[in-house]
């Protein structure tokens, strides 16, 4: 595999950016080696600066549910650019995207567009505090909600504890406004709520936790969250930056049929452009300025080019059977890999939901909380990632990250990818390539 161009670009980038990147995971520190610099993407493929092609399962960390360079999205972007890139004033395009979303998602009645998932979550937390007049937030260990100060916290020791900041630069006072509890642990949440019920504004969860492995929760557990928060006047926030428009048009709320109080979106909603959003009932949303007293604003919020991209992409997602087809192709791919691992007695299992999958190196049937992940298993991911790059498959460069299947990943491509992954697993675990397609 050629790496000269990527290596030269990375050396140059290190002079400009901390660690040579504009977002940490891109630096390849978890898998080692030089990050690939990409030149081009088309469908389910990407090309690096050395001209090599890869089947892409990162899909820009989720936004590209139609794959790269989808004709309808590209045309919508080009048309919008021709009319002006930003006005800082309302445009018809904001109405069009909002209408499309609200008419097809019965879990929210109003929406506000922002420019990233982080901004959506930050604003949702402020809204929850504004509505309830309470200061504290409960989050779950193993859920990521962007780099919002109050949520960049990890658990201390104990069942439910005030957060310890997981980044320098976050004052203790800010971390102390967040209580961290383990996922899938009813007792921990009950304890936190009984201790602080009247001070808790919100419980925030990724209903499909997909930032620390894929820690699928049961529907019963999510219903428990809905019930306990409702009983105590606490707002339930579903952070659907990944799951929104991914496991169905109405995201995890629709998948589990649970109505949270506030939902945050990002990634897919912008068609590959920088967009985030948060939505809720009319009653809750009227607290936002200028209607209410919760301030939130943005120079580029509702940007017309981004709105056009989002609308084009979401229109495709609304085609009949779009999500069923995504899930079926993903299940076939995942099922084949799991059967291979069993046959070869490799401690490897792919967990999946809809078109999200996660490669886990485990014999466990289910993994529902972050402490069930063996950190040592990441060594296997590191080895697999390296072999897969050599064989033309690009996964996000961390074993804790999930992969995504787009509509451009056809059955044929997924079958090709499965064969390459089986061969790579056989190489990493020293098995014979018998049964490898
Ligand atoms: N929330 C979740 C669940 C995410 O996965 C992410 C990013 O991966 C964010 C929030 C932050 O979004 P962004 O990176 O657009 O700021």
Ligand 1 pocket, 145 CB below 6 A? yes
239, 278, 349, 394: the active-site residue: 239
pLDDT at 434 over 70: no
Burial (0-12, 13-18, 19+ Cβ within 10 Å), 102: middle
Ligand 1 centroid – CA 344 distance (Å)? 36
Query: CA–CA separation, 84 vs 82, rounded Å?
Result: 6
Query: Regarding beta strands 136-141 and 178-182, do their DSSP bridges make them parallel or antiparallel, or are they unpaired?
Result: parallel
Minimal-distance CA residue to ligand 1 atom 12 = 117
Q: What is the pTM of this model?
A: 0.97
Burial (0-12, 13-18, 19+ Cβ within 10 Å), 117: buried
Q: Cβ contacts of residue 328 below 8 Å, gap of 6+?
A: none
Ligand 1 pocket, 118 CB below 6 A? yes
In this predicted model, what pLDDT tens digit does every residue of 374-404 receive, in sequence order? 999 999 999 999 999 999 999 999 999 999 9
Ligand 1 pocket, 131 CB below 6 A? no
For residue 306, whether the previous peptide bond is cis, meaning omega lies within 30 degrees of 0, is no
If one residue of 242, 253, 273, 358 were mutated to test the ligand 1 pocket, choosing by the most ligand atoms within 8 A of its CB, it would be: 242
In this predicted model, what pLDDT tens digit does every residue of 270-307 receive, in sequence order? 999 999 999 999 999 999 999 999 999 999 999 999 99
Going from N- to C-terminal start, the domains of the chain cover 4-69+321-428, 71-317
Q: Cβ contacts of residue 34 below 8 Å, gap of 6+?
A: 3, 6, 7, 10, 28
Give the ligand 1 atom nearest the CA of 239: 3
Nearest to 322 by CA among 69, 104, 103: 104
The pLDDT value given to residue 197 = 86
Average pLDDT, stretch 47-67?
A: 98
196, 267, 349, 400: the active-site residue: 267
Query: CA–CA separation, 20 vs 360, rounded Å?
Result: 29
Ligand 1 centroid – CA 437 distance (Å)? 36
Ligand 1 centroid – CA 353 distance (Å)? 18
Nearest to 404 by CA among 226, 281, 184, 246: 246
CA atoms within 13 Å, Cβ hemisphere of 217: 25
Ligand 1 pocket, 124 CB below 6 A? no
Q: Which residue has the tokens 């097809």?
A: 104
pLDDT at 437 over 70: no
Ligand 1 pocket, 146 CB below 6 A? yes
3 state SS for the chain: CCCHHHHHHHHHHHHHCHHHCCCHHHHCCCCCCCCCCEEEEEECEEEECCCCEEEECCHHHCCCCCCECCHHHHHHHHHHHHCCCCCCCCCHHHHHHHHHHHHCCCCCCEEEEECCHHHHHHHHHHHHHHHHCCCEEEEEECCCCCCCHHHCEECCCCCCEECEECCCCCCHHHHCCEEEEECCCHHHHHHHHHHHHHHEEEEEECCCCCCCCCCCCCHHHHHHHHHHHHHCCCEEEEECCCCCCCCCCCHHHHHHCCCCCEEEECHHHHCCCCCEEEEECHHHHCCECCCCCECCCCCCCCCHHHHHHHHHHHHHHCCCCHHHHHHHHHHHHHHHHHHHHHHCCCCCEEEEECCEEEEECCCCCCCCCHHHCCHHHHHHHHHHHHHHHHCCEECCCCCCCCEECCCCCCHHHHHHHHHHHHHHHHHHCCCCCCCCC
pLDDT at 208 over 70: yes
Domain 71-317 falls in which CATH fold?
3.40.640
- Distances in whole angstroms, Cα of residue 388 to Cα of each of 31, 88, 375, 423: 12, 45, 21, 9
CATH 3.40.50.2300 fits 4-69+321-428, yes or no: no
Minimal-distance CA residue to ligand 1 atom 9 = 146
Query: CA–CA separation, 17 vs 37, rounded Å?
Result: 14
Give the ligand 1 atom nearest the CA of 143: 3
374 is catalytic: no
Query: CA–CA separation, 204 vs 118, rounded Å?
Result: 13
Query: Over pLDDT 70: what percentage of the chain?
Result: 99
Ligand 1 centroid – CA 431 distance (Å)? 38
Ligand 1 centroid – CA 45 distance (Å)? 23
pLDDT at 210 over 80: yes
Give the ligand 1 atom nearest the CA of 118: 16
Give the ligand 1 atom nearest the CA of 146: 11
Ligand 1 pocket, 211 CB below 6 A? yes
The pLDDT value given to residue 436 = 54
Ligand 1 pocket, 261 CB below 6 A? no
54, 107, 144, 323: the active-site residue: 144
239 is catalytic: yes
If one residue of 62, 183, 241 were mutated to test the ligand 1 pocket, choosing by the most ligand atoms within 8 A of its CB, it would be: 241
Angle made by CA atoms 226, 232, 237, in degrees to the nearest 5: 45
267 is catalytic: yes
Angle made by CA atoms 417, 23, 385, in degrees to the nearest 5: 25
Handedness of CA 121, 127, 130, 136 (dihedral sign): negative
157 — pLDDT class (breaks 50, 70, 90): confident
The pLDDT value given to residue 423 = 97
Nearest to 256 by CA among 207, 320, 212: 207
Ligand 1 pocket, 209 CB below 6 A? no
Angle made by CA atoms 36, 39, 43, in degrees to the nearest 5: 100
Q: How high does pLDDT run on average in the chain?
A: 96
Average pLDDT, stretch 207-212?
A: 98
Ligand 1 centroid – CA 427 distance (Å)? 34
Average pLDDT, stretch 228-234?
A: 98
The pLDDT value given to residue 83 = 98
């Amino acid at each position: 595999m050629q790496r000269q161009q990527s290596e030269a670009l990375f050396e140059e980038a290190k002079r400009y950016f901390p660690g040579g990147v504009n977002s940490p995971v891109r630096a390849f520190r978890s898998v080692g080696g030089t990050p690939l610099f990409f030149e081009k993407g088309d469908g389910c493929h990407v090309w690096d600066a050395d001209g090599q092609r890869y089947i892409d399962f990162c899909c820009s960390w989720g936004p590209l549910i139609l794959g790269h360079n989808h004709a309808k999205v590209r045309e919508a972007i080009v048309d919008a650019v021709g009319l002006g890139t930003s006005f800082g004033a309302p445009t018809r395009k904001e109405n069009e995207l909002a209408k499309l979303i609200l008419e097809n998602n019965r879990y929210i009645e109003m929406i506000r567009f922002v420019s990233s998932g982080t901004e959506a979550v930050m604003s949702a937390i402020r809204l929850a505090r504004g509505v309830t007049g309470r200061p504290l937030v409960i989050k779950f260990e193993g859920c990521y909600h962007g780099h919002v100060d109050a949520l960049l916290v990890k658990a201390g020791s104990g069942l439910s504890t005030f957060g310890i900041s997981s980044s320098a630069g976050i004052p203790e006072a800010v971390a102390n406004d967040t209580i961290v509890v383990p996922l899938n642990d009813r007792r921990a949440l009950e304890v936190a709520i009984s201790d602080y019920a009247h001070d808790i504004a919100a419980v925030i969860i990724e209903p499909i936790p997909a930032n620390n492995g894929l820690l699928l929760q049961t529907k019963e557990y999510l219903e428990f969250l809905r019930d306990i928060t409702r009983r105590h006047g606490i707002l339930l926030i579903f952070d659907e930056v990944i799951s929104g428009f991914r496991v169905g048009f109405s995201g995890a709320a629709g998948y589990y049929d649970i109505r949270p109080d506030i939902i945050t979106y990002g990634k897919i909603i912008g068609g590959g452009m920088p967009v985030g959003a948060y939505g809720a009932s009319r009653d809750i949303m009227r607290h936002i300025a200028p209607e209410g007293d919760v301030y939130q604003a943005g120079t580029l919020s509702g940007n017309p080019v981004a709105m056009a991209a989002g609308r084009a992409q979401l229109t495709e997602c609304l085609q009949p059977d779009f999500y069923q087809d995504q899930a079926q192709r993903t299940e076939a791919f995942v099922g084949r890999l799991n059967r291979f691992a069993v046959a070869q007695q490799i401690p490897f299992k792919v967990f999946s939901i809809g078109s999200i999958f996660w490669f886990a190196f485990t014999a466990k049937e289910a993994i529902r909380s972050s402490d069930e992940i063996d950190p040592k298993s990441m060594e296997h991911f590191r080895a697999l990632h390296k072999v897969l790059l050599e064989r033309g498959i690009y996964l996000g460069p961390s074993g804790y990250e999930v992969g995504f299947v787009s509509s451009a990943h056809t059955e044929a491509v997924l079958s090709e990818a499965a064969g390459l992954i089986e061969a790579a697993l056989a190489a990493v675990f020293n098995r014979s390539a018998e049964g490898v397609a």
